[in-house]
Chain A
Amino acid sequence: MASIKMPQLGESITEGTISKWLKKPGDPVKKYESLVEVITDKVNAEVPSPLNGVLKEITVQEGATVSVGTEIAIIDEVGGGREATPATASGAAREPQSVAAPAGQPAPPGETGSDQAPASGSEGRSRLSPAVRALLEEHKISDDELSRISGSGIGGRISKKDIEEFVVRRGRTAPDGGQRVAPDGDKQAATVAAAGDSLPLSPMRRAIAVNMAKSKQTIPHAWTVAEVDMTNVVRYRQQVKDTFKQREGVDLTYVPIVVKGVVEQLRATPILNASWGEDKVTLHREINIGVAVSVEDGLIVPVLHGADRMSIAGLARATDDLARRARAGKLTLQDVQGGTFTVNNPGTFGTILSYSIIAPGQAAILAMDAIVKRPVVVEGDAIAVRSMMNLCLSFDHRVLDGVSAARFLQGLRHWLEGFSEQVPLY
């Protein structure tokens, strides 16, 4: 018999929720056949069976959240003669190769969720020293409590001292001898909430919270805005959008066009495609653009890998694919890791000035605000009606200065304002 454990579906993931069992007790399962669907902070994944056998028992029911390594099922091995081997499904699960540059930042900007940090610190929270592990055991500290302890070490690492101080604090607040409050974060978010209710945190909500707080606390954000005349882009899109839709099957939105411009400018100003490390700045060779997508209960930022190798049409298709899969909960871990720059599009909701939060591990995030028609003074001091858009850039002032940010925005503005049918779609 083999014990099937909750796999670790990514470096920093500590727990998963069983969304659906694909087999019932008594069903035969083949090696690599999907056994169960698991929801984590970042992705939903189907966990394959690590061996041939018969599903004997399900020990964690649908909807329950358990920490990584918890037994979730037992499989009777076919031919059963061998000793039980503890099996973790993770090996066969979709563990992506570490992508491109920064150790992996699925994290979205402005708002999304994942708790990965920049290269130097990415392991800070997830990597616990033997001394810390021993203390967690000794003081019966739960994962939930652990998630509330802020690490004082390099990259946010939780040190022995942090745990010792936590234990002292906990002792003070729980004079009854340390009885713990039931962890509320392990429950799934309630679907209907009335005013006055307190909402339990979903894994995504919690990850977003951790990530955004970390970004704002550690990155000195600077913010700058450029006003762009999008009239040429708007006209062009109007001309081609129907044939594009027919031909490609997806809408030509402003996002792939702006992303194309961003890629061009990142080539010219590579310091915006970079990561801060405590003693260095890493410039990334790959240009992987995260695109913020709102989903139920949060926001996720899948990544256009190799955006610099895609045409506008290719970017449109890839963006559409990622957005669909994000909303269907079908993103893989690889889809949300490895971003080097993020584009956010709050303008679809009519915003005109957005101050986005930088994804940890990246140097900047660009927000596209609403395109609105406004009277503008044009050449010859005439007043014309033009389609105007604000591009708001938040950047890590440790990595770059205002002049690079302004140069980037200026280049992007010129590129967009000079848009014409000469710019190849394919």
Chain B
Amino acid sequence: MARQTVIEAIRQAMDEEMERDPSVFVIGEDVGRRGGVFLATDGLHKKYGEMRVIDSPLAESCIVGVAIGAAVNGMRPIAEIQFADFIAPAMNQIIEEAARFCYRTAGDFNLPMVIRAPWGGGVHGALYHSQSIEATFSHIPGLKVVAPGTPADARGLLKSAVRDPDPVLYLEHKRTYRLIRGEVPDGDGLVPIGKADVKREGKDLSLIAYGLMLQYCLEAAEKLAQDGVSAEVLDLRTIKPMDEAAVIATAKKTGKVLVVHEDNRFAGIAGEVIAVIMEHAFDSLDAPVMRLTAPDVPAMPFNHVLEEAFMPNVDKILAKARELAAY
């Protein structure tokens, strides 16, 4: 066991996978000599050389396109999008090609590739460095979308994503990079894709979240405990395929559910989680299922007061959870 930050866990996962499997390589903007803007690939260029840690042009469609071509030919690429906000130029490659390749070739070809994308706000990054993209990509059949919230899950899910036969969009919340420290197990420490995790047991209500919001929910649950409210916290970890059984189990257990995410509200992940609950756990509900999300405005504001207003935070989660507890 070692205590690591999220960014250290991600770096270690890539290092271990590259060492284990020579077909694994990294491609992205500034990932080579510079070690990436967040230093996620720091040291890998020196260790594995420029053939396996490739500095790409500033062209996301190229990064993903190259990764697709390599994957078809038996490689296991890890494509880094410098900020999730910049992923739009690669959308055609991701949606039309990567997500559908296996289906289009009737299963003759899989694309064992990972797209890593630092996402989310709260870092004073404004419009181009704060966006949440999970709902957009989760809508596309053929893509897996994961969003770990702890160092152990960051490492375990990245390693599982590299070994997965299909394209995985790996979202790493940039505010958690150096904020969150935690125990990372020895050995492989693989975390299965598609499995949620109860991060805190409780009986009065459930908080469901992922990424940075998971941490905020855990803090809120701690404060709720002081009010005598026992909150369960379910970490989705994988957004798609969603662990419906875990969602249903916690809803049935507490009968009161609050879903929290930083992505916009409309057609967001919370809507999907809530639909699953309504379909399968309606008879156990003791209150309307609630959600706390960012508002449907075009972008994260730069002004820090407005940024704070945009982002869900511990106080907002507490207020909503208390409303739910009192219902």
Give chain A's interface residues, CB within 8 Å of chain B: 129-134, 153-154, 157, 159-161
Instruction: Assign chain B's interface to a size class.
Output: 10 to 19
A161 vs B205: C-alpha distance in the bound complex, in angstroms?
Answer: 11
Across-interface contacts of B327 in A (CB, < 8 A): 153-154, 157, 159
- With A133-B283, A161-B286 known, 5 other A-B pairs at CB within 8 A are A131-B283, A132-B286, A134-B284, A153-B327, A159-B287
Complex contacts, A130 vs chain B, CB 8 Å: 282-286
B326 at the A/B interface (Cβ < 8 Å)? yes
Q: How far is B255's CA from A341's CA once the two chains are assembled, in angstroms?
A: 38
Which residue of B255, B282, B326 contacts A160 across the interface (Cβ within 8 Å)?
B255
A130 to B282, CA, bound (A): 7
Cβ-neighbour of A154 out of B283, B285, B286, B326 (below 8 A): B326
Interface residues as binary, B190-211 with A (CB distance below 8 Å gives 1, 0 otherwise) = 0000000000000010000000
Q: How far is the CB of A282 from chain B (nearest CB, A)?
A: 20
Which label, helix, strand, loop or mixed, suits the secondary structure of the A interface? helix
Residues of chain A contacted by B283 (CB below 8 angstroms):
130-131, 133-134
Which residue of B has the minimal Cβ distance to A134? Answer: B283
11 A-B pairs in the complex with CB atoms less than 8 angstroms apart: A129-B255, A129-B285, A129-B286, A130-B283, A130-B284, A131-B285, A134-B283, A153-B326, A159-B327, A160-B255, A160-B286
Give the complex CA separation of A79 and B327 in angstroms.
Answer: 50
Closest chain A residue, CB of each to CB of B252? A131
CB distance from B125 to the nearest CB of A (A): 34
Whole-angstrom distance between the alpha carbons of A131 and B282 in the complex? 8
Measured between C-beta atoms, what is the minimum distance from B204 to chain A in Å?
8
In whole angstroms, what is the CA distance A132 to B327 when docked? 13
Task: Please indicate the chain A residues that have their CB under 8 angstroms from the CB of B326 in the complex.
Answer: 153-154
Which residue, of B204, B282, B285, B286, has the highest number of chain A Cβ atoms within 10 A? B286
Q: What CA separation (Å) do A130 and B288 show in the bound complex?
A: 10
Q: How far is the CA of A132 from the CA of B255 in the complex (A)?
A: 10
A159–B287 Cα distance when bound, in Å, is 8
Name the interface residues of B274-327: CB closer than 8 Å to any CB of A: 282-287, 326-327
Identity of the chain B residue whose Cβ is nearest the Cβ of A129 in the assembled complex: B286
Cα distance A182–B143 in the bound complex, in angstroms: 61
Enumerate chain B residues within 8 angstroms of A132, measured Cβ to Cβ.
286
In Å, the complex CA distance between A157 and B326 comes to: 9
Interface residues of B in 214-264 (CB under 8 A from A): 255
Segment 71-99 of B: residues with Cβ below 8 Å from A: none
Q: Enumerate chain B residues within 8 angstroms of A161, measured Cβ to Cβ.
A: 204, 286
Q: Cα distance A159–B324 when bound, in Å?
A: 11
What is the CB-to-nearest-CB distance from A165 to chain B, in angstroms, rounded to a whole number? 13
CB distance from A233 to the nearest CB of B (A): 49
A159 to B204, CA, bound (A): 11
Which residue of chain B has its CB nearest to the CB of A133? B283
| Nearest chain A CB to B184 CB, angstrom units | 38
With beta carbons under 8 angstroms apart, the residue of B282, B284, B286 that contacts A159 is: B286
Interchain nearest-CB distance for A207 vs B (Å): 25
Residues of B within 8 A of A159 (CB): 286-287, 327
Please measure, in the bound complex, the distance between the C-alpha atom of A154 and the C-alpha atom of B285, giving whole angstroms: 16
Quick one: closest B residue to A152, CB to CB? B326
Tell me the bound Cα distance from A131 to B286 in angstroms. 5
State how many angstroms separate the Cβ of B286 from the closest Cβ of chain A.
Answer: 4
Q: Which residue of B lies closest to A162 (CB)?
A: B286
- Chain A residues whose C-beta falls within 8 Å of the C-beta of B204 in the assembled complex: 161
Nearest CB of chain B from residue A242's CB, rounded to whole Å: 59
What B residues does A131 contact at CB under 8 A?
Answer: 255, 283-286
The CA of A58 and the CA of B49, in the complex, are separated in Å by 90
| Alpha-carbon gap, A160 to B284, bound state (A) | 9
Say how far B52's CB is from chain A's closest CB, in angstroms. Answer: 55
The residues of A that contact B284 with a CB separation of less than 8 Å are 130-131, 134
Residue numbers in A under 8 Å from B255 (CB-CB): 129, 131, 160
Q: How far is the CB of B231 from chain A (nearest CB, A)?
A: 14
In the bound assembly, the distance between CA atoms of A422 and B204 in angstroms comes to 65
Nearest residue in B to A128 (C-beta to C-beta)?
B286
Residues in A with CB closer than 8 Å to B285 are 129-131
- Chain B residue nearest in CB terms to A159: B286
Q: Give the complex CA separation of A129 and B282 in angstroms.
A: 9
| A160 → B minimal CB distance (Å) | 4
Q: How far is the CA of A131 from the CA of B326 in the complex (A)?
A: 15
- Distance A131 CA – B257 CA, assembled complex (angstroms): 13
B194 vs chain A, min Cβ distance (A) = 28
**A425–B255 CA distance with the chains assembled, in angstroms:** 59
* Nearest-Cβ distance from residue A89 to partner chain B, whole angstroms: 28
Task: Looking at the assembled complex, report how far the CB atom of B138 sits from the nearest CB atom of chain A, in whole angstroms.
Answer: 28
A157 to B327 alpha-carbon distance, docked (Å): 7
**CA of A129 to CA of B256, assembled, Å:** 11
A132 and B285 CA atoms in complex are apart in Å by 8
